[in-house]
Amino acid sequence: MPPSDDSVTRVEERPDTPVRKRRLRSRRPAILLSLAAVIAVAVVAAVVLTGGDDDAAPVAKAAAGVPVAGGTLTYAVAGTQVSLDPAVAATAVTGLIDRNVFDSLVVQTDADSFGPWLAKEWKISGDGRTYTFTLREGVTFHDGTPLNAQAVKATLDHVVDPATKSAYAASLIAPYKSARAVSDLVVEITLSRPFTPFLQALSVPYLGIQSPAALAKPVADYKPVGTGPFSYVSWEKDKRVTLKGNPAYASPPGNATHAGAPRLEGLVFEFVSEDATRYGALTSGQVQAIAGVPPVNAEQLKKTPGFTLNARETPGLNYNLYLNQTRGPLRDVRVRRALSSAVNVGELIKNVYFGHYKAVRNPLSAITAAYDAAAEASLAGYDPAEAGRLLDEAGWKKGGPDGYRVKDGKALTLIWPFWAEGNKEQRDVLAEGIQAQAKLAGIKIDRPTVDTGAYVSDYLIGGGYDLIDVSFARPTPDVLRFAFASGNTYAKAGGNVALVDSPEIDRWVQEAAETADPATAVRDYASVQAKVLKEAYVLPLYTPVQLVGLSDKVRDVTFDAQTYPVFYGAWLGA
Amino acid sequence: MPPLARWLARRLTLTLFVLWGAATLAFAAMRLVPGDPARIIAGGVQANATPEVLEAIRTQYGLAEPVPVQYVIFLGRLVRADLGDSYQLGRAVSGVILEQLGATVALAAGAAVLGFTLALTLALLTAGRPRARALSRALEFCALSTPGFWIGILLLTAFSFRLHWFPVLGNDGVRALVLPWITLALSIAGVLAQVTREGLERALEQPFALTARSRGATENRIRLRHALRHAALPVLTLSGWALGELLAGVVVVETVFARQGLGQVIVSAVNGRDFPVVTGVVVLAALTFSLINTGLDLLYRAVDPRMRQVAL
């Protein structure tokens, strides 16, 4: 064959080729067709088998039994983490894992009460600035270091050290000044100002007490070493964290259901970010529990024999829409209340979430201490006629293009950036509903899609927004200070995205955080809730719900005040 | 210097140039994206890092220096093959990459072998057979127009969640790799099969095929020994493309199948503005591309005698 006779020169001859080829073919196996058919049938059969084996493995519904020790529980969680140091990370999954490795000084037993844990008792000075903790005797860290006052001091100093680059923990104990070992087991902590949320802060895993010997090692060699019921074995990045039971465990919290060693031999956290994969891994028995059951599968899981759906409303701030009161049309309280009356929150939440999430009328979730149901009277609830009246009164007249209201030749336009990376729980769908209802009232809502960098620098810090949506779970009413005190803007590491600047609110949240009198605090927090709703700084939407899916083999998992699962008492049944 | 050595030396110089270009582009891109890197390194939107913490981050990573100064420092390190430490993990970048490299290579190499085998088999069996070809083409179009994400979910639902044949999680070695391999292989097999079949059909029309048949060669011999060699050239050319597809595909496959690997590393590094890790992975990808392309060019010469005569 001459080299020039290559494929390019032969292309033109193609039209007549099929005839020639058929005639010249040597053999003609019909295997292929049958093979393809077999594959197709296999795939269809596999998919049709839906649910078949779920019935095939009937598991007796958690018959009360005597706990048995042993076994490894695998818990699949969404998301991943970049650091295992609770003092550094802000990710929820780090708190969830570290909760099992670290004990805290105190345990939160209810919305606003605390019990002993590593500290068997504590005293608060009259001026509220000095906390003296007496530690339990005979507690040792997983590396053998004894728990003493020095360890508490080392942990807290590590958290507030700027070199630690704490993303969250340090902000919880902002008034921390110093710690001093009074004796081996007595530690005295001094604050720069009275701060009643201090005990709650000390109860979270991000402020778990760490072994000073482990903290002394270089950052690259960091390993979490605490006194908790499970000790750290390994972390395969983006894959799993493996823990093992601590047989010497002797420091359960005051509200624990049993004493002594944990029942599980091993505890494995698998990182499975894809919702469908995580859900399938649970129902096919590859893991025993999952976090973040997709709301669309929640109903199905409830009905599947052998599995339990555990739904828990989170305490703290609801998923709220905050109205930037420093910019454009929303400077006028009438426009803010008009937006609030234009949106039928109850109907939207019902339609988007099929009853799995509850519509709310208060920025604080109902299970948070100092939640005040009476404050809801101040909310501008759904009333389109009222919305129209308020807008007329504020000078925004009907008759603009596309039905939007205008004033001085400008349409009533609000900017609500859409940070796609942070989108979850179909919040984008809910936002579309809000947009549509605002449009009926003549308010235009723009949703530019932005990436993380722009979201932080141009919007959260730059202030180029009218609306921002966010939720924040933390079991203390002090979240109201985080969200509405004038000194807590995002740029100052706070959550005041409505940019509220009210001396009254500042005074209330300050007094509530400093007072030793619970009644005063409750009154102050109630005033804040009523005020922010009356001024329409915030439009409450729904209370986020933690949906945990459990196989019925898993027994006695309890949940702490932050809604994290607690595995200390957990065991695996037959 | 023999011609081949001269050619290799030139390719090596070009490779270095490509590495410099890729690293520079990575540097520029990571600086051009909006937002304060210190804030994102500190934990992103949810983080409540104080100004002191942000200042500490800027000082430690030299983010406060003017960009040209940062670039010079960056290049200086790169020349010394020092990729630096990850901002997020606090460990050496080379360590982070090496640790995850194995998982990704196992995934991509297996998928490449499977994809090429599947494509060649389909093409050899269906070239010039209109009915089989029509069926195969329909399957190939399905494979190449269905997102890998969706194929992965379907395979998982059928073979892991329902039939329990393959695990998603856990350390089951090869068994845990089967579904990811198939998912990733399908993303390249469709196109490769189409191209191979085109080449085969063209070769089968050539007079040499007729000559071979007249000498009594079986159909299999004609296809495997004669036509396939001619069809191999365009497939080799497409291998570069296939490598790109595989690299992009591992990101999706690793997410769907909850696997660890470089795909996950690069996603979290880009989101977390972890410059050293991003640079490390980009340089590694550029190096792999260059080496594979050089290897392919050598292969051309082996496959096609005409290429050996072309001036080096």
pLDDT tens profile A5-58 = 343 333 333 444 444 444 445 444 455 445 555 555 555 444 444 433 333 333
Please report residues of B whose CB lies closer than 8 A to that of A3.
306
Measured in angstroms, the CA of B220 and the nearest CA of chain A are apart by: 9
Looking at the partner chain, which of A28, A239, A457 has a beta carbon nearest the beta carbon of B34? A457
Please compute the mean of the pLDDT values over residues A365-393 and round it to a whole number. 94
Tell whether the model's pLDDT for residue B183 goes beyond 50.
Answer: yes
- Cβ–Cβ below 8 Å for A171 and B264: no
Looking at the partner chain, which of B56, B160, B210 has a beta carbon nearest the beta carbon of A162? B56
- Cβ–Cβ below 8 Å for B163 and A270: no
**Which residue, among B45, B178, B206, B211, would best test binding to A if mutated, counting the most A CBs under 10 Å from its CB?**
B45
- Cβ–Cβ below 8 Å for B257 and A277: yes
Residue A268's beta-bridge partner residues?
A: A74, A242
Tell whether the model's pLDDT for residue A416 goes beyond 90.
Answer: yes
Buried-state track A409-438, b at ≥16 Cβ within 10 A, e below 16: eebbbbbbbbbeeeeebebeebbebbbebb
| pLDDT score of B1 | 64
Q: What is the pLDDT confidence band of residue B271, given thresholds at 50, 70 and 90?
A: confident
Please compute the mean of the pLDDT values over residues A124-143 and round it to a whole number. 94
CA nearest B39 in A: which residue?
A456
Closest to A330 in 3D by CA, of A415, A402, A393: A415
Please compute the mean of the pLDDT values over residues B232-242 and round it to a whole number. 83
Measured in angstroms, the CA of B13 and the nearest CA of chain A are apart by: 32
Beta-carbon count within 10 A of A170 CB: 27
Going across the sheet that includes A538-542, the strands are A467-473, A316-323, A538-542
CA nearest A462 in B: which residue?
B35
Tell whether the model's pLDDT for residue A326 goes beyond 90.
Answer: yes
Please report residues of A whose CB lies closer than 8 A to that of B208.
1
Closest to B50 in 3D by CA, of A388, A237, A493: A493
| pLDDT score of B65 | 84
3-state class of A289 per DSSP?
strand
Interface of A with B in 181-210 (CB under 8 A): none
Structural domains of chain A, with CATH: 316-543 (3.10.105.10)
Q: What is the dihedral of CA A146, A152, A154, A159, to 10 degrees?
A: 140
Tell whether the model's pLDDT for residue A4 goes beyond 50.
Answer: no
- Please give the DSSP secondary-structure letter assigned to residue B85: B
- Cβ–Cβ below 8 Å for B45 and A419: yes
Residues A467 and A448: their CA atoms lie apart, in Å, by 12
Least confident of A279-288, A457-466, A550-559, B81-90: B81-90
Contacting residues for A410 by C-beta, under 8 A, at least 6 apart: none
Number of residues that this document lists for chain B: 312
Q: What is the pLDDT confidence band of residue A544, given thresholds at 50, 70 and 90?
A: very high
| pLDDT score of B3 | 78
- Cβ–Cβ below 8 Å for A165 and B42: yes
Residue A187 φ/ψ, nearest 5 degrees:
-125, 140
Beta-carbon count within 10 A of B273 CB: 26
Residue at token pair 């690069």: B266
Task: Answer whether A21 touches B (CB < 8 Å).
Answer: yes
Inter-residue contact A174 to A160 (CB < 8 Å) = no
Looking at the partner chain, which of B36, B43, B136 has a beta carbon nearest the beta carbon of A167? B43
Task: Answer whether A2 touches B (CB < 8 Å).
Answer: no
Interface of A with B in 458-487 (CB under 8 A): 458, 460-461
Please report residues of B whose CB lies closer than 8 A to that of A29.
125
Measured in angstroms, the CA of B4 and the nearest CA of chain A are apart by: 23
Task: Answer whether A32 touches B (CB < 8 Å).
Answer: yes
Residues B87 and B123: their CA atoms lie apart, in Å, by 48
Measured in angstroms, the CA of A49 and the nearest CA of chain B are apart by: 7
Looking at the partner chain, which of B131, B205, B273 has a beta carbon nearest the beta carbon of A17? B205
Q: Give the sign of the dihedral formed by CA B106, CA B111, CA B112, CA B114.
A: positive
Which tops the pLDDT comparison, A105 or B223?
A105
| pLDDT score of A569 | 92
CA nearest B305 in A: which residue?
A3
CB pairs under 8 A between A and B: 226
Please report residues of B whose CB lies closer than 8 A to that of A451.
33-35
| pLDDT score of A145 | 94
Please compute the mean of the pLDDT values over residues A395-406 and round it to a whole number. 90
Residues A416 and A450: their CA atoms lie apart, in Å, by 10
The DSSP bridge pattern shows strands A554-555 and A571-572 to be antiparallel
3-state class of A5 per DSSP?
coil
Tell whether the model's pLDDT for residue A269 goes beyond 90.
Answer: yes
Which structure tokens are listed for A226?
């605490």
Look over chain B and give the mean of its residue pLDDT values, rounded to a whole number.
Answer: 85
Inter-residue contact A334 to A441 (CB < 8 Å) = no
Please compute the mean of the pLDDT values over residues B146-155 and round it to a whole number. 88
CA nearest B103 in A: which residue?
A239
Looking at the partner chain, which of B99, B126, B258 has a beta carbon nearest the beta carbon of A274? B258
Please compute the mean of the pLDDT values over residues A417-444 and round it to a whole number. 91
Beta-carbon count within 10 A of B162 CB: 22
Determine the Cα angle at A451 with ends A450 and A456, to 5°. Answer: 90
CA nearest B149 in A: which residue?
A274
Please report residues of B whose CB lies closer than 8 A to that of A25.
128-129, 219
Q: What is the pLDDT confidence band of residue B58, given thresholds at 50, 70 and 90?
A: confident
Structural domains of chain B, with CATH: 96-263 (1.10.3720.10)
Please compute the mean of the pLDDT values over residues B5-9 and round it to a whole number. 87
Contacting residues for A93 by C-beta, under 8 A, at least 6 apart: A77, A78, A79, A80, A81, A269, A271
| pLDDT score of A288 | 94
- Cβ–Cβ below 8 Å for B199 and A52: no
Measured in angstroms, the CA of A319 and the nearest CA of chain B are apart by: 14
| pLDDT score of A40 | 52
- Cβ–Cβ below 8 Å for A273 and B255: yes
Measured in angstroms, the CA of A172 and the nearest CA of chain B are apart by: 9
**Which residue, among B53, B97, B136, would best test binding to A if mutated, counting the most A CBs under 10 Å from its CB?**
B53
Residues B159 and A81: their CA atoms lie apart, in Å, by 30
Least confident of A399-408, B31-40, B135-144: B31-40
Q: What is the pLDDT of residues A241-254, one digit of tens each?
A: 999 999 999 899 98
Helices (H), chain B: 3-32, 37-41, 51-61, 67-79, 93-126, 130-145, 148-155, 174-204, 207-214, 219-221, 228-256, 262-271, 275-303, 305-309
- Cβ–Cβ below 8 Å for B48 and A171: yes
CA nearest A288 in B: which residue?
B169
Tell whether the model's pLDDT for residue A319 goes beyond 80.
Answer: yes
Look over chain A and give the mean of its residue pLDDT values, rounded to a whole number.
Answer: 86
Q: What is the pLDDT of residues A436-465, one digit of tens each?
A: 999 999 999 999 998 887 888 889 888 899
Inter-residue contact A226 to A118 (CB < 8 Å) = no
Q: What is the dihedral of CA A171, A177, A180, A185, to 10 degrees?
A: -30
The DSSP bridge pattern shows strands A289-290 and A565-566 to be unpaired
Residues A200 and A474: their CA atoms lie apart, in Å, by 9
Which tops the pLDDT comparison, B42 or B214?
B214
**Which residue, among A10, A23, A24, A271, would best test binding to B if mutated, counting the most B CBs under 10 Å from its CB?**
A24
Contacting residues for B114 by C-beta, under 8 A, at least 6 apart: B181, B182, B185, B189
- Please give the DSSP secondary-structure letter assigned to residue B62: T
Residue A248 φ/ψ, nearest 5 degrees:
-90, 10
